[in-house]
Structure 1
């Protein structure tokens, strides 16, 4: 089993998150940065980050390669895998 090397997930209680029908929150996309390899990373309102690679056919995110299209995504809801994982763990404990 692979170990997650990223820090522990933060609670999903940020005021800028919108509730979803399955009790998850949708963090907002706040900005972008690049890693040492030039891959784009999304900065999310929940405090998490997510790589946004465009590697068709597995990852189709052509918009991340264009500065204007990245700008258009700012403020949009973003499905955070770290928050989703935290909700799954919480549901199992209930």
Structure 2
């Protein structure tokens, strides 16, 4: 029939910011500002993209004089970069 207006809602406590349940991104993207390179792929324009351990990606273009990354064009040099630390700009933005 009618709703009991005196019925109290059971409220839950707020989550502590340090708990994993309170993460904005449960897949942990956005947590570290320094990741590692896990692999490379090319986009539809054939530019090289680094795949990072945090789940983000980063274009790595060699376009002198603006961007000098000749190593990205060489398969052996790309392979050497896998596992190396990489400062993720996306993660840094999330932390600010």
Give the TM-score of the pair, scaled to structure 1.
0.69
**CA-atom RMSD in angstroms:** 1.7
Distance 2:33 2:93 in 1: 12
Which SS does the other structure have where 1:46 is aligned? coil
Which residue pairs with 2:46 in the alignment? 38
Which residue is 2:78 aligned to? 70
Cα deviation for residue 86 of structure 1 reads: 1.1
**What's the CA shift for 1:11?**
3.1
For structure 1, the 5+ residue unaligned runs are 1-7, 13-23, 89-94
Please give the per-residue CA displacement for 1:4-54, whole angstroms capped at 9, x wherever unaligned. Answer: xxxx89231xxxxxxxxxxx5310000000011110000000000000100
Q: Aligned residue for 1:49?
A: 57
TM-score, reference length from structure 2: 0.67
Structure 2: 5+ residue stretches without partners: 1-24
In the alignment, what sits opposite 1:10? Answer: 29
Q: Secondary structure at the match of 2:86?
A: coil
**Secondary structure of the residue that 2:29 maps to in structure 1?**
coil
* Greater than 4 Å deviation, 4+ residue runs: none
Q: Which residue does the alignment assign to 1:81?
A: 89
Count of paired positions: 70
